[in-house]
Chains A and B, each alone.
Chain A
Amino acid sequence: MEYVSPEGLRLDGRRPTEMRQLRAEVGVVAKADGSASFEMGNTKVIAAVYGPREVQNKGQQMNDQALVRCEYSMANFSTGDRMRKPKGDRRSTEISLVIRQTMEACILTHLMPRSQIDIFVQVLQADGGTRSACINAATLALADAGIPMRDLVTSCSAGYLNSTPLLDLNYVEDSAGGPDVTVGILPKLDKVTLLQMDAKLPIDIFENVMQLAIEGCKAVANYIREILLENTKQLEFRRGV
Protein backbone atom coordinates (compact mmCIF):
# COMPACT_ATOMS: atom_id res chain seq x y z
CA MET A 1 0.00 0.00 0.00
CA GLU A 2 1.11 3.53 -0.69
CA TYR A 3 1.52 5.53 2.49
CA VAL A 4 3.25 8.50 0.91
CA SER A 5 1.85 9.79 -2.38
CA PRO A 6 4.18 10.84 -5.24
CA GLU A 7 3.43 14.44 -4.29
CA GLY A 8 4.89 13.68 -0.85
CA LEU A 9 1.65 13.70 1.11
CA ARG A 10 0.52 11.11 3.64
CA LEU A 11 -2.88 9.42 3.88
CA ASP A 12 -4.26 12.12 6.16
CA GLY A 13 -2.79 14.91 4.05
CA ARG A 14 0.23 15.65 6.21
CA ARG A 15 3.78 16.05 4.97
CA PRO A 16 6.25 13.39 6.18
CA THR A 17 7.76 15.57 8.90
CA GLU A 18 4.53 17.18 9.98
CA MET A 19 2.89 16.48 13.32
CA ARG A 20 -0.78 16.13 13.97
CA GLN A 21 -2.64 18.99 15.59
CA LEU A 22 -1.81 19.22 19.30
CA ARG A 23 -4.32 20.29 21.92
CA ALA A 24 -3.95 20.30 25.65
CA GLU A 25 -5.94 21.45 28.61
CA VAL A 26 -4.93 21.58 32.25
CA GLY A 27 -7.23 20.86 35.20
CA VAL A 28 -9.89 18.70 33.51
CA VAL A 29 -10.60 16.50 36.55
CA ALA A 30 -11.73 18.76 39.37
CA LYS A 31 -11.19 16.28 42.21
CA ALA A 32 -7.64 15.26 41.30
CA ASP A 33 -4.54 17.03 42.61
CA GLY A 34 -3.38 17.55 39.06
CA SER A 35 -4.92 16.65 35.72
CA ALA A 36 -4.69 17.31 32.02
CA SER A 37 -6.08 16.16 28.71
CA PHE A 38 -3.83 15.84 25.68
CA GLU A 39 -4.83 15.40 22.06
CA MET A 40 -2.64 14.44 19.12
CA GLY A 41 -4.96 14.52 16.15
CA ASN A 42 -7.68 11.98 16.90
CA THR A 43 -5.81 10.41 19.80
CA LYS A 44 -7.17 11.79 23.04
CA VAL A 45 -6.12 10.91 26.58
CA ILE A 46 -6.78 12.20 30.08
CA ALA A 47 -4.27 11.98 32.91
CA ALA A 48 -4.95 12.52 36.60
CA VAL A 49 -2.38 12.68 39.39
CA TYR A 50 -3.13 12.01 43.04
CA GLY A 51 -0.45 12.71 45.59
CA PRO A 52 2.06 12.97 47.07
CA ARG A 53 0.06 11.30 49.82
CA GLU A 54 0.30 8.59 52.45
CA VAL A 55 1.34 5.19 51.09
CA GLN A 56 -1.77 2.99 50.84
CA ASN A 57 0.01 -0.32 51.03
CA LYS A 58 2.51 -0.01 53.88
CA GLY A 59 4.61 -2.86 52.54
CA GLN A 60 5.56 -0.78 49.49
CA GLN A 61 6.66 2.26 51.46
CA MET A 62 10.20 3.42 50.83
CA ASN A 63 12.06 5.43 53.47
CA ASP A 64 14.32 7.32 51.10
CA GLN A 65 12.04 8.13 48.16
CA ALA A 66 8.46 8.43 46.95
CA LEU A 67 6.59 5.52 45.43
CA VAL A 68 5.36 6.28 41.91
CA ARG A 69 2.50 4.23 40.52
CA CYS A 70 0.79 4.33 37.18
CA GLU A 71 -2.25 2.77 35.60
CA TYR A 72 -3.13 2.92 31.91
CA SER A 73 -6.67 2.10 30.87
CA MET A 74 -8.52 2.29 27.59
CA ALA A 75 -12.19 3.18 27.34
CA ASN A 76 -14.38 0.57 25.62
CA PHE A 77 -15.28 3.07 22.95
CA SER A 78 -11.75 4.28 22.28
CA THR A 79 -11.02 1.97 19.35
CA GLY A 80 -12.74 1.62 15.99
CA ASP A 81 -14.22 -1.80 16.79
CA ARG A 82 -15.78 -1.86 20.19
CA MET A 83 -13.73 -3.99 22.55
CA ARG A 84 -14.53 -5.44 25.91
CA LYS A 85 -11.23 -6.44 27.40
CA PRO A 86 -10.76 -7.18 31.06
CA LYS A 87 -8.71 -4.60 32.92
CA GLY A 88 -5.01 -5.21 33.23
CA ASP A 89 -4.31 -7.13 30.02
CA ARG A 90 -0.68 -7.52 29.01
CA ARG A 91 -0.55 -4.54 26.70
CA SER A 92 -1.89 -2.09 29.29
CA THR A 93 0.37 -3.51 31.97
CA GLU A 94 3.37 -2.99 29.72
CA ILE A 95 2.38 0.58 28.86
CA SER A 96 1.70 1.33 32.54
CA LEU A 97 5.21 0.17 33.32
CA VAL A 98 6.75 2.24 30.53
CA ILE A 99 4.94 5.38 31.63
CA ARG A 100 5.83 4.76 35.27
CA GLN A 101 9.52 4.33 34.53
CA THR A 102 9.62 7.37 32.28
CA MET A 103 7.90 9.61 34.80
CA GLU A 104 9.90 8.24 37.74
CA ALA A 105 13.06 9.31 35.93
CA CYS A 106 12.05 12.96 36.04
CA ILE A 107 10.24 13.24 39.39
CA LEU A 108 12.50 14.28 42.27
CA THR A 109 11.38 11.31 44.34
CA HIS A 110 14.02 11.81 47.05
CA LEU A 111 12.26 15.01 48.16
CA MET A 112 9.11 13.12 49.15
CA PRO A 113 10.15 10.03 51.13
CA ARG A 114 7.48 7.73 52.59
CA SER A 115 4.82 9.01 50.23
CA GLN A 116 3.03 7.85 47.11
CA ILE A 117 2.20 9.49 43.80
CA ASP A 118 -0.48 7.93 41.60
CA ILE A 119 -0.69 8.65 37.89
CA PHE A 120 -3.80 7.45 36.07
CA VAL A 121 -4.09 7.75 32.33
CA GLN A 122 -7.31 7.07 30.50
CA VAL A 123 -7.45 6.74 26.72
CA LEU A 124 -10.65 8.21 25.30
CA GLN A 125 -9.74 7.84 21.64
CA ALA A 126 -6.95 5.70 20.25
CA ASP A 127 -5.56 6.62 16.83
CA GLY A 128 -1.92 5.62 17.13
CA GLY A 129 0.68 7.05 19.45
CA THR A 130 -1.31 6.55 22.66
CA ARG A 131 1.94 5.83 24.49
CA SER A 132 3.37 9.22 23.56
CA ALA A 133 0.12 11.05 24.23
CA CYS A 134 -0.13 9.43 27.67
CA ILE A 135 3.38 10.51 28.63
CA ASN A 136 2.72 14.07 27.47
CA ALA A 137 -0.56 14.18 29.39
CA ALA A 138 1.11 12.74 32.50
CA THR A 139 3.83 15.43 32.35
CA LEU A 140 1.21 18.16 32.22
CA ALA A 141 -0.79 16.59 35.05
CA LEU A 142 2.32 16.24 37.24
CA ALA A 143 3.20 19.86 36.59
CA ASP A 144 -0.37 20.86 37.41
CA ALA A 145 -0.14 18.92 40.70
CA GLY A 146 2.98 20.90 41.55
CA ILE A 147 5.17 17.84 41.92
CA PRO A 148 8.89 18.68 41.79
CA MET A 149 10.49 17.47 38.55
CA ARG A 150 13.92 17.64 36.99
CA ASP A 151 12.48 18.62 33.66
CA LEU A 152 9.39 18.03 31.54
CA VAL A 153 9.29 14.67 29.76
CA THR A 154 7.83 14.75 26.30
CA SER A 155 7.37 11.95 23.85
CA CYS A 156 6.70 11.46 20.17
CA SER A 157 6.91 8.60 17.70
CA ALA A 158 8.33 8.32 14.23
CA GLY A 159 8.29 5.57 11.63
CA TYR A 160 9.71 4.58 8.29
CA LEU A 161 7.39 3.70 5.43
CA ASN A 162 7.84 3.82 1.63
CA SER A 163 11.52 4.74 2.21
CA THR A 164 10.45 7.93 3.97
CA PRO A 165 10.87 8.78 7.65
CA LEU A 166 7.45 9.81 8.98
CA LEU A 167 6.74 11.78 12.14
CA ASP A 168 3.89 11.01 14.57
CA LEU A 169 2.27 7.90 13.06
CA ASN A 170 -1.50 7.53 13.15
CA TYR A 171 -3.28 4.20 13.56
CA VAL A 172 -3.27 3.25 9.87
CA GLU A 173 0.43 3.97 9.49
CA ASP A 174 1.18 2.31 12.81
CA SER A 175 -0.53 -0.92 11.79
CA ALA A 176 1.27 -0.98 8.43
CA GLY A 177 3.91 -3.16 10.08
CA GLY A 178 6.84 -0.85 9.52
CA PRO A 179 9.24 0.21 12.23
CA ASP A 180 7.80 2.45 14.94
CA VAL A 181 10.26 4.37 17.09
CA THR A 182 8.86 5.93 20.26
CA VAL A 183 11.19 8.39 21.94
CA GLY A 184 10.86 10.26 25.21
CA ILE A 185 13.24 13.07 26.07
CA LEU A 186 14.03 15.55 28.81
CA PRO A 187 14.13 18.60 26.54
CA LYS A 188 16.16 20.93 28.74
CA LEU A 189 18.75 18.40 29.84
CA ASP A 190 18.74 17.03 26.28
CA LYS A 191 18.61 13.42 27.39
CA VAL A 192 16.67 10.45 26.06
CA THR A 193 14.67 8.63 28.75
CA LEU A 194 12.52 6.36 26.62
CA LEU A 195 13.38 4.56 23.42
CA GLN A 196 11.36 1.74 21.94
CA MET A 197 11.32 0.25 18.47
CA ASP A 198 9.71 -2.74 16.85
CA ALA A 199 10.69 -4.21 13.47
CA LYS A 200 14.14 -3.64 12.03
CA LEU A 201 15.95 -0.72 10.45
CA PRO A 202 19.47 -0.16 9.09
CA ILE A 203 21.52 1.81 11.61
CA ASP A 204 22.04 4.93 9.49
CA ILE A 205 18.32 5.18 8.76
CA PHE A 206 17.49 4.53 12.40
CA GLU A 207 19.58 7.54 13.32
CA ASN A 208 17.54 9.74 10.99
CA VAL A 209 14.24 8.39 12.23
CA MET A 210 15.23 8.84 15.87
CA GLN A 211 16.43 12.36 15.16
CA LEU A 212 13.05 13.10 13.59
CA ALA A 213 11.26 11.74 16.65
CA ILE A 214 13.47 13.89 18.92
CA GLU A 215 12.57 16.96 16.86
CA GLY A 216 8.93 15.98 17.40
CA CYS A 217 9.51 15.72 21.17
CA LYS A 218 11.03 19.19 21.19
CA ALA A 219 8.03 20.62 19.36
CA VAL A 220 5.74 18.96 21.91
CA ALA A 221 7.88 20.39 24.73
CA ASN A 222 7.50 23.90 23.35
CA TYR A 223 3.76 23.44 23.12
CA ILE A 224 3.51 22.05 26.67
CA ARG A 225 5.56 24.92 28.01
CA GLU A 226 3.21 27.38 26.31
CA ILE A 227 0.18 25.68 27.87
CA LEU A 228 1.76 25.69 31.33
CA LEU A 229 2.73 29.32 31.02
CA GLU A 230 -0.78 30.23 29.96
CA ASN A 231 -2.19 28.26 32.89
CA THR A 232 0.17 29.93 35.35
CA LYS A 233 -0.77 33.35 34.04
CA GLN A 234 -4.42 32.52 34.57
CA LEU A 235 -3.77 31.34 38.13
CA GLU A 236 -1.82 34.52 38.76
CA PHE A 237 -4.68 36.59 37.42
CA ARG A 238 -7.22 34.79 39.59
CA ARG A 239 -5.11 35.43 42.67
CA GLY A 240 -4.99 39.08 41.74
CA VAL A 241 -1.19 39.29 41.64
Chain B
Amino acid sequence: MVGLSLGEKNFIKGGIAQDIRTDGRKRLTYRPIFVETGVIPQASGSARVKMGATDVIASVKAELGKPNASHPDKGKVSIYVDCSPTAEPTFEGRGGEELSMELSTALQRCLLGGKSGAGAGIDLSSLSIVEGKVCWDIYIDGLVVSSDGNLLDALGAAIKAALSNTAVPKVQVAANASLDEQPEVDVSDEEFQQFDTTGVPVIITLTKVGRHYIVDATAEEESQMSSAVSISVNRQGRICGLTKRGGAGLDPSIILDMISVAKHVSEQLINKLDSEIAAAEACEEE
Protein backbone atom coordinates (compact mmCIF):
# COMPACT_ATOMS: atom_id res chain seq x y z
CA MET B 1 0.00 0.00 0.00
CA VAL B 2 1.14 3.49 -0.74
CA GLY B 3 0.55 5.95 2.05
CA LEU B 4 1.07 9.54 0.91
CA SER B 5 0.47 12.86 2.61
CA LEU B 6 -1.38 15.68 0.93
CA GLY B 7 1.90 17.50 0.31
CA GLU B 8 3.46 14.48 -1.37
CA LYS B 9 0.41 14.01 -3.55
CA ASN B 10 0.56 17.64 -4.67
CA PHE B 11 4.28 17.30 -5.30
CA ILE B 12 3.75 14.30 -7.59
CA LYS B 13 0.89 15.96 -9.45
CA GLY B 14 2.67 19.30 -9.74
CA GLY B 15 5.81 17.61 -11.02
CA ILE B 16 3.91 15.76 -13.72
CA ALA B 17 2.19 18.98 -14.79
CA GLN B 18 5.62 20.62 -15.18
CA ASP B 19 7.20 17.63 -16.96
CA ILE B 20 9.66 16.78 -14.16
CA ARG B 21 8.65 13.72 -12.17
CA THR B 22 9.79 12.92 -8.63
CA ASP B 23 12.67 10.78 -9.92
CA GLY B 24 13.74 13.40 -12.44
CA ARG B 25 12.24 11.74 -15.50
CA LYS B 26 10.16 13.46 -18.15
CA ARG B 27 6.58 12.38 -18.74
CA LEU B 28 7.42 10.03 -21.60
CA THR B 29 10.70 8.57 -20.33
CA TYR B 30 11.07 5.00 -19.17
CA ARG B 31 13.16 3.89 -16.22
CA PRO B 32 16.30 1.98 -17.23
CA ILE B 33 15.40 -1.57 -18.30
CA PHE B 34 17.55 -4.58 -17.38
CA VAL B 35 16.97 -7.90 -19.14
CA GLU B 36 18.42 -11.25 -18.17
CA THR B 37 17.58 -14.37 -20.17
CA GLY B 38 17.75 -18.08 -19.38
CA VAL B 39 17.16 -17.58 -15.64
CA ILE B 40 15.04 -20.75 -15.25
CA PRO B 41 16.96 -23.76 -16.62
CA GLN B 42 13.95 -26.13 -16.49
CA ALA B 43 11.88 -23.94 -18.81
CA SER B 44 12.09 -23.87 -22.61
CA GLY B 45 12.78 -20.17 -22.33
CA SER B 46 12.80 -17.58 -19.59
CA ALA B 47 13.68 -14.00 -18.84
CA ARG B 48 13.80 -11.58 -15.97
CA VAL B 49 13.08 -7.91 -16.48
CA LYS B 50 13.82 -5.14 -14.03
CA MET B 51 12.51 -1.60 -14.38
CA GLY B 52 13.56 0.39 -11.35
CA ALA B 53 12.20 -1.49 -8.34
CA THR B 54 9.78 -3.54 -10.46
CA ASP B 55 11.10 -7.04 -10.99
CA VAL B 56 9.27 -9.74 -12.98
CA ILE B 57 10.16 -13.19 -14.31
CA ALA B 58 8.53 -14.86 -17.30
CA SER B 59 8.99 -18.48 -18.30
CA VAL B 60 7.84 -20.36 -21.37
CA LYS B 61 7.19 -24.08 -21.33
CA ALA B 62 6.28 -26.10 -24.40
CA GLU B 63 4.35 -29.34 -24.04
CA LEU B 64 2.82 -31.67 -26.61
CA GLY B 65 -0.96 -31.51 -26.62
CA LYS B 66 -4.05 -31.88 -28.72
CA PRO B 67 -5.36 -28.95 -30.73
CA ASN B 68 -8.84 -27.55 -30.20
CA ALA B 69 -11.54 -29.17 -32.33
CA SER B 70 -12.60 -25.77 -33.66
CA HIS B 71 -9.06 -24.86 -34.80
CA PRO B 72 -7.35 -28.13 -35.74
CA ASP B 73 -4.47 -26.42 -37.54
CA LYS B 74 -3.37 -24.22 -34.65
CA GLY B 75 -1.45 -24.68 -31.43
CA LYS B 76 -2.45 -23.26 -28.09
CA VAL B 77 -0.90 -20.54 -25.97
CA SER B 78 -1.97 -19.64 -22.47
CA ILE B 79 -0.70 -16.95 -20.16
CA TYR B 80 -0.87 -17.04 -16.37
CA VAL B 81 0.47 -14.42 -14.02
CA ASP B 82 1.15 -14.94 -10.36
CA CYS B 83 1.80 -12.16 -7.85
CA SER B 84 4.24 -13.31 -5.22
CA PRO B 85 3.64 -12.01 -1.69
CA THR B 86 7.32 -10.99 -1.65
CA ALA B 87 6.24 -8.06 -3.84
CA GLU B 88 3.59 -6.80 -1.47
CA PRO B 89 2.27 -8.25 1.81
CA THR B 90 -1.32 -7.76 0.66
CA PHE B 91 -0.76 -10.49 -1.96
CA GLU B 92 -0.62 -13.04 0.83
CA GLY B 93 -2.91 -16.05 0.48
CA ARG B 94 -5.59 -15.26 -2.08
CA GLY B 95 -4.93 -11.53 -1.84
CA GLY B 96 -3.00 -11.34 -5.08
CA GLU B 97 -5.50 -13.32 -7.12
CA GLU B 98 -7.55 -10.38 -8.30
CA LEU B 99 -4.53 -8.53 -9.64
CA SER B 100 -3.14 -11.76 -11.13
CA MET B 101 -6.36 -12.33 -13.05
CA GLU B 102 -6.46 -8.72 -14.22
CA LEU B 103 -2.88 -8.91 -15.48
CA SER B 104 -3.39 -12.34 -17.10
CA THR B 105 -6.45 -11.24 -19.06
CA ALA B 106 -4.84 -7.96 -20.08
CA LEU B 107 -1.77 -9.84 -21.35
CA GLN B 108 -3.89 -12.38 -23.20
CA ARG B 109 -5.80 -9.57 -24.83
CA CYS B 110 -2.64 -7.73 -25.78
CA LEU B 111 -0.56 -10.68 -27.02
CA LEU B 112 -2.88 -13.45 -28.15
CA GLY B 113 -5.41 -11.63 -30.30
CA GLY B 114 -8.93 -12.97 -30.90
CA LYS B 115 -10.38 -16.37 -30.00
CA SER B 116 -9.51 -17.80 -33.40
CA GLY B 117 -5.92 -16.80 -32.89
CA ALA B 118 -6.06 -14.25 -35.66
CA GLY B 119 -3.85 -11.27 -35.01
CA ALA B 120 -1.83 -13.04 -32.34
CA GLY B 121 1.72 -11.96 -31.66
CA ILE B 122 2.80 -15.59 -31.94
CA ASP B 123 1.96 -17.40 -35.17
CA LEU B 124 -0.27 -20.18 -33.85
CA SER B 125 -0.16 -22.17 -37.11
CA SER B 126 3.58 -22.65 -36.63
CA LEU B 127 2.80 -24.59 -33.42
CA SER B 128 0.82 -27.25 -35.26
CA ILE B 129 2.60 -30.60 -35.76
CA VAL B 130 -0.06 -32.95 -37.16
CA GLU B 131 -3.29 -31.23 -38.08
CA GLY B 132 -6.07 -32.09 -35.65
CA LYS B 133 -3.88 -34.54 -33.73
CA VAL B 134 -0.76 -33.08 -32.17
CA CYS B 135 0.36 -29.54 -31.52
CA TRP B 136 2.50 -27.58 -29.11
CA ASP B 137 0.86 -26.19 -26.00
CA ILE B 138 2.78 -23.14 -24.92
CA TYR B 139 2.42 -22.15 -21.30
CA ILE B 140 3.65 -18.70 -20.40
CA ASP B 141 3.99 -18.05 -16.68
CA GLY B 142 4.71 -14.64 -15.26
CA LEU B 143 5.78 -14.02 -11.70
CA VAL B 144 5.86 -10.62 -10.03
CA VAL B 145 8.78 -10.69 -7.58
CA SER B 146 8.85 -7.03 -6.69
CA SER B 147 6.35 -4.39 -7.68
CA ASP B 148 6.85 -0.68 -8.11
CA GLY B 149 4.21 0.15 -10.68
CA ASN B 150 3.90 -0.52 -14.40
CA LEU B 151 3.63 -4.30 -13.98
CA LEU B 152 1.88 -4.84 -17.30
CA ASP B 153 4.62 -3.25 -19.42
CA ALA B 154 7.30 -5.12 -17.50
CA LEU B 155 5.48 -8.45 -17.90
CA GLY B 156 4.96 -7.79 -21.60
CA ALA B 157 8.66 -7.07 -22.02
CA ALA B 158 9.62 -10.16 -19.99
CA ILE B 159 7.36 -12.39 -22.09
CA LYS B 160 8.83 -10.96 -25.29
CA ALA B 161 12.34 -11.63 -24.02
CA ALA B 162 11.42 -15.12 -22.79
CA LEU B 163 9.89 -16.02 -26.16
CA SER B 164 12.98 -14.92 -28.03
CA ASN B 165 14.98 -17.08 -25.62
CA THR B 166 12.71 -20.09 -26.23
CA ALA B 167 13.94 -23.14 -28.09
CA VAL B 168 11.31 -25.73 -29.00
CA PRO B 169 12.65 -29.20 -29.84
CA LYS B 170 12.28 -30.39 -33.44
CA VAL B 171 9.71 -33.10 -33.89
CA GLN B 172 9.70 -36.07 -36.25
CA VAL B 173 6.37 -37.64 -37.07
CA ALA B 174 6.21 -41.30 -38.02
CA ALA B 175 5.08 -41.39 -41.64
CA ASN B 176 3.02 -44.58 -41.56
CA ALA B 177 0.35 -43.38 -39.14
CA SER B 178 -3.20 -44.05 -40.29
CA LEU B 179 -5.89 -41.41 -40.12
CA ASP B 180 -7.69 -42.35 -36.90
CA GLU B 181 -4.70 -43.32 -34.79
CA GLN B 182 -2.75 -40.93 -32.64
CA PRO B 183 0.49 -40.53 -34.63
CA GLU B 184 3.79 -41.40 -33.03
CA VAL B 185 6.00 -38.42 -32.46
CA ASP B 186 9.68 -38.39 -31.83
CA VAL B 187 10.93 -35.36 -29.94
CA SER B 188 14.53 -34.54 -30.73
CA ASP B 189 16.93 -33.96 -27.84
CA GLU B 190 19.52 -32.16 -29.87
CA GLU B 191 17.84 -30.10 -32.52
CA PHE B 192 15.89 -27.07 -31.47
CA GLN B 193 14.11 -24.41 -33.34
CA GLN B 194 13.82 -20.80 -32.38
CA PHE B 195 10.58 -18.87 -32.23
CA ASP B 196 9.81 -16.08 -34.58
CA THR B 197 9.24 -13.23 -32.15
CA THR B 198 9.31 -10.33 -34.56
CA GLY B 199 5.52 -10.12 -34.38
CA VAL B 200 5.32 -10.02 -30.59
CA PRO B 201 4.09 -6.56 -29.58
CA VAL B 202 5.24 -4.45 -26.65
CA ILE B 203 2.79 -3.00 -24.19
CA ILE B 204 2.78 0.69 -23.39
CA THR B 205 0.70 1.86 -20.45
CA LEU B 206 -0.18 5.53 -20.38
CA THR B 207 -1.30 6.61 -16.93
CA LYS B 208 -3.34 9.74 -16.65
CA VAL B 209 -2.52 11.90 -13.63
CA GLY B 210 -4.26 15.27 -13.52
CA ARG B 211 -4.47 16.62 -17.07
CA HIS B 212 -1.39 14.83 -18.39
CA TYR B 213 -0.41 11.25 -19.04
CA ILE B 214 2.87 9.52 -18.29
CA VAL B 215 4.58 6.26 -19.22
CA ASP B 216 6.15 3.78 -16.79
CA ALA B 217 4.44 5.11 -13.65
CA THR B 218 5.84 4.11 -10.26
CA ALA B 219 3.54 2.76 -7.55
CA GLU B 220 3.31 6.22 -5.99
CA GLU B 221 2.34 7.82 -9.28
CA GLU B 222 -0.15 5.02 -9.98
CA SER B 223 -1.90 5.76 -6.70
CA GLN B 224 -2.70 9.24 -8.05
CA MET B 225 -3.97 8.11 -11.46
CA SER B 226 -7.48 8.77 -12.69
CA SER B 227 -7.32 6.18 -15.45
CA ALA B 228 -4.77 4.21 -17.46
CA VAL B 229 -4.76 2.86 -20.98
CA SER B 230 -2.54 -0.08 -21.97
CA ILE B 231 -1.86 -0.28 -25.67
CA SER B 232 0.07 -3.06 -27.33
CA VAL B 233 1.91 -2.04 -30.45
CA ASN B 234 3.93 -4.28 -32.77
CA ARG B 235 6.99 -3.51 -34.84
CA GLN B 236 4.95 -2.27 -37.77
CA GLY B 237 3.33 0.32 -35.52
CA ARG B 238 -0.03 -1.49 -35.57
CA ILE B 239 -2.24 -1.60 -32.50
CA CYS B 240 -2.71 -5.21 -31.33
CA GLY B 241 -4.75 -4.71 -28.19
CA LEU B 242 -6.05 -2.10 -25.84
CA THR B 243 -7.22 -2.13 -22.24
CA LYS B 244 -8.46 0.73 -20.12
CA ARG B 245 -8.31 0.60 -16.36
CA GLY B 246 -9.33 3.01 -13.63
CA GLY B 247 -12.59 4.67 -12.76
CA ALA B 248 -12.59 8.02 -14.49
CA GLY B 249 -13.94 8.41 -18.00
CA LEU B 250 -11.79 9.56 -20.90
CA ASP B 251 -12.67 11.81 -23.76
CA PRO B 252 -12.52 9.83 -27.04
CA SER B 253 -10.21 12.41 -28.60
CA ILE B 254 -7.76 11.94 -25.70
CA ILE B 255 -7.73 8.19 -26.33
CA LEU B 256 -6.84 8.76 -29.99
CA ASP B 257 -4.12 11.14 -28.89
CA MET B 258 -2.82 8.55 -26.41
CA ILE B 259 -2.70 5.91 -29.15
CA SER B 260 -0.55 8.08 -31.37
CA VAL B 261 1.77 8.86 -28.45
CA ALA B 262 1.98 5.15 -27.60
CA LYS B 263 2.92 4.40 -31.21
CA HIS B 264 5.72 6.92 -31.02
CA VAL B 265 7.00 5.63 -27.66
CA SER B 266 6.77 2.00 -28.79
CA GLU B 267 9.45 2.50 -31.45
CA GLN B 268 11.97 3.56 -28.83
CA LEU B 269 10.91 0.80 -26.44
CA ILE B 270 11.14 -1.95 -29.07
CA ASN B 271 14.62 -0.81 -30.09
CA LYS B 272 15.72 -0.57 -26.47
CA LEU B 273 14.31 -4.02 -25.70
CA ASP B 274 15.88 -5.57 -28.80
CA SER B 275 19.32 -4.33 -27.86
CA GLU B 276 18.85 -5.40 -24.21
CA ILE B 277 17.68 -8.87 -25.27
CA ALA B 278 20.58 -9.25 -27.68
CA ALA B 279 23.00 -8.18 -24.94
CA ALA B 280 21.45 -10.63 -22.48
CA GLU B 281 21.65 -13.50 -24.97
CA ALA B 282 25.25 -12.70 -25.72
CA CYS B 283 26.00 -12.56 -22.02
CA GLU B 284 24.34 -15.94 -21.48
CA GLU B 285 26.31 -17.63 -24.26
CA GLU B 286 29.63 -16.64 -22.76
Contact with B along A21-54 (1 / 0, CB 8 A): 0000000111110010000001000111010000
- Residues in A with CB closer than 8 Å to B146 are 28-32
Which of B40, B61, B97, B219 lies in contact with A125, CB distance below 8 A?
B40
A151 interface residue per 8 A CB criterion: no
User: Interface size of B by Cβ–Cβ distance < 8 Å?
Assistant: 33
Bound-state CA distance A41–B143 (Å) is 21
- Residues in B with CB closer than 8 Å to A80 are 42
A215 interface residue per 8 A CB criterion: no
Bound-state CA distance A79–B52 (Å) is 28
Which of A29, A77, A79, A84 lies in contact with B86, CB distance below 8 A?
A29
Contact with A along B35-77 (1 / 0, CB 8 A): 0000111110010000011010101010100000000000000
A210 interface residue per 8 A CB criterion: no
A75 interface residue per 8 A CB criterion: yes
Bound-state CA distance A184–B145 (Å) is 26
In the complex, how many angstroms separate the beta carbon of B104 from the nearest chain A beta carbon?
Answer: 12
A71 interface residue per 8 A CB criterion: yes
A76 interface residue per 8 A CB criterion: yes
In the complex, how many angstroms separate the beta carbon of A141 from the nearest chain B beta carbon?
Answer: 9
In the complex, how many angstroms separate the beta carbon of B250 from the nearest chain A beta carbon?
Answer: 30
- Residues in A with CB closer than 8 Å to B52 are 30
Bound-state CA distance A162–B271 (Å) is 55
Q: Are B92 and A120 in contact (CB under 8 A)?
A: yes
A122 interface residue per 8 A CB criterion: yes
Bound-state CA distance A75–B139 (Å) is 13
What is the interface of chain A mostly: helix, strand, loop, or mixed?
Answer: loop
Contact with B along A78-92 (1 / 0, CB 8 A): 111010100110000
A73 interface residue per 8 A CB criterion: yes
A118 interface residue per 8 A CB criterion: yes
Q: Are A32 and B141 in contact (CB under 8 A)?
A: no
Q: Are A120 and B139 in contact (CB under 8 A)?
A: no
Q: Are A77 and B145 in contact (CB under 8 A)?
A: no
A186 interface residue per 8 A CB criterion: no
Interface size of A as a range: 20 to 34
- Residues in B with CB closer than 8 Å to A73 are 84-85
- Kindly identify, within residues 158 to 177 of chain B, every residue whose CB is under 8 Å from any CB belonging to chain A: none
Contact with A along B136-162 (1 / 0, CB 8 A): 000101010111100000000000000
Contact with A along B92-117 (1 / 0, CB 8 A): 11100100000000000000000000
Bound-state CA distance A30–B218 (Å) is 13
Looking across the interface, which residue of chain B has its beta carbon closest to that of A84?
A: B80
B88 interface residue per 8 A CB criterion: yes
Q: Are A82 and B139 in contact (CB under 8 A)?
A: yes
Bound-state CA distance A124–B59 (Å) is 11
- Residues in B with CB closer than 8 Å to A28 are 55, 145-146
B87 interface residue per 8 A CB criterion: yes
- Residues in A with CB closer than 8 Å to B55 are 28-30
- Residues in A with CB closer than 8 Å to B85 are 48, 71, 73, 118, 120, 122
Which of A30, A31, A71, A79 lies in contact with B42, CB distance below 8 A?
A79
Bound-state CA distance A47–B86 (Å) is 7
Q: Are B40 and A122 in contact (CB under 8 A)?
A: no
A32, A56, A76 pick with most chain B CB within 10 angstroms: A76
Which of A50, A77, A118 lies in contact with B40, CB distance below 8 A?
A77
Contact with B along A2-38 (1 / 0, CB 8 A): 0000000000000000000000000011111001000
Query: Given the interface contacts A87-B94, A118-B89, does A30 sit within 8 Å of B141 by beta carbon?
Result: no
Contact with A along B177-220 (1 / 0, CB 8 A): 00000000000000000000000000000000000000000010
Looking across the interface, which residue of chain B has its beta carbon closest to that of A118?
A: B89
- Residues in B with CB closer than 8 Å to A29 are 55, 86-87, 145-146
- Residues in A with CB closer than 8 Å to B141 are 75-77, 82
Other A-B pairs beyond A48-B85, A71-B85, A124-B40, 20, CB < 8 Å: A28-B145, A29-B87, A30-B146, A30-B148, A31-B53, A31-B88, A31-B147, A31-B148, A42-B41, A71-B92, A73-B85, A76-B80, A77-B46, A80-B42, A82-B139, A82-B141, A87-B93, A118-B85, A124-B39, A124-B143
25 A–B contacts, CB within 8 A, in A order: A30-B52, A30-B53, A30-B55, A31-B219, A46-B145, A71-B93, A73-B85, A75-B82, A76-B82, A76-B141, A77-B42, A77-B46, A77-B61, A77-B143, A78-B42, A79-B42, A80-B42, A82-B139, A87-B94, A88-B93, A88-B94, A122-B85, A122-B143, A124-B39, A125-B40
